[in-house]
Amino acid sequence: MFYSLYGLRLEANTSIPGLTAFICDESPDVRVWLAETPPRLDYVTKLSQDIYYRSSHQNEHGQPLLTVQRVLGGNYFRLTYADNTAFLIDRVGTEIWSTWPDTLSIEDTAVYLLGPILGFALRLRGVTCLHASAVAIGEHAIALLGTAGAGKSTTAAAFARLGYAVLSEDVVALEDSRSGFSVQPGYPHIRLWPTSAEILYRSPDALPPLTPNWDKRYLDLVESGYAFQDSPLPLAAVYVLGQRCPDPEAPFVEEISAREALMTFVENTYGNYLLEPAMRAKEFTVLSRLVERVPIRRVNPHVDPDRLLRLCHAILDDSRMVCPRGS
């Protein structure tokens, strides 16, 4: 089964929930094995005690939500989640294996795979990723950047309701070239918490659950009649979602300094807690060029969720000034 997302050609040993397969006669960039672990590595992986990262967040049993081990001197990484779903990734991000307990399903595993796991694989391959969502405005893309809970996915869904195509949600993979930065398309779903579904559709149950084991819902951009941008677009601007405020003028857009923009990027790249020093140094260089080439704005949303569409229109009004003409 072949798939395309984040600018990568994936070959999988079985169908991946949420993705549409296509026919491909080229070599894949990444091979994915679901419900498999390579026999040559299974034993040594279980013995590995080289902890590379342990999440400070824990589940109700006091277990870290994510533990990352280096295997065979760092030639592989093993990522184990608190629910015992595990992934093994080679150091150059070309092979991924996964296993999960009998109480979970392939749909549960796909939630990890399409987000943090492929996000980490992209970072290993040297691709800079923003913790953001991306929307197509004419022939260009804008990115909605922010910390967890800032409203990136909710705002992207609101843009979808206004008729704009969505490129990616949560992971925005950037292609860095001499002509500028482009956004690679992700997959045609937006994942939303029930509170977001209620804001958008007046009911927390208006959208189907990702899986029976997850609280999140999802908006299908294809079957629901919305639009998915399945080809890359040049990045025209980045909008940083700030804290919600009661200012009667909100939502409004304001400029930020280059220094503040750079620090905001450093704090909001995807999976930055897993980067090694050399990877961080390279990323800092890329982000510095990004600040020089792409307009960065802060958006101040209103505390009233009913002003969400006004937030979109404030961004649209500003984007008409910063997007290249003819877009």
pLDDT at 275: 87
CA 225 to chain centre: 22
pLDDT at 319: 92
283 CB-near residues (< 8 Å, 6+ apart): 128, 266, 269, 272, 275
Q: Is 327 helix (H, G, I), strand (E, B) or coil?
A: coil
Structure confidence at residue 288 as a pLDDT band (50, 70, 90): very high
39 versus 249: the higher-pLDDT residue is 249
* φ and ψ of 40, to 5 deg: -70, -20
Please tell me the pTM assigned to this model: 0.92
DSSP string, 52-100: EEE-S-B-TTS-BSEEEEEETTTTEEEEEETTS-EEEEETTS-EEEEE-
Domains and CATH numbers, the chain: 2-124 (no CATH), 129-322 (3.40.50)
* Contact present, 233 and 164 (Cβ < 8 Å): no
The label of the residue with tokens 């040297």 reads 126
What is the 8-class DSSP label of residue 306? G
Strand order from edge to edge, sheet including 95-99:
2-5, 8-12, 30-34, 95-99, 86-90, 76-81, 66-71, 51-54
**Positive/negative CA dihedral, 128, 266, 153, 215:** positive
pLDDT at 39: 76
Residue 137 has pLDDT above 70, yes or no: yes
Amino acid at 8: L
**Burial level of 101, CB count in 10 A (0-12/13-18/19+)?**
exposed
Q: Locate 218 and state its tokens.
A: 């999802």
* Contact present, 46 and 31 (Cβ < 8 Å): no
Residues above pLDDT 70, as percent of the chain: 96
Q: Locate 116 and state its tokens.
A: 């943090």
Structure confidence at residue 326 as a pLDDT band (50, 70, 90): very low
pLDDT digits over 29-42, tens only?
Answer: 999 999 988 877 76
Least confident of 42-46, 107-111, 279-283, 285-289: 42-46
* Contact present, 323 and 138 (Cβ < 8 Å): yes
Structure confidence at residue 43 as a pLDDT band (50, 70, 90): low
Q: Average pLDDT, whole number, for the chain? A: 91
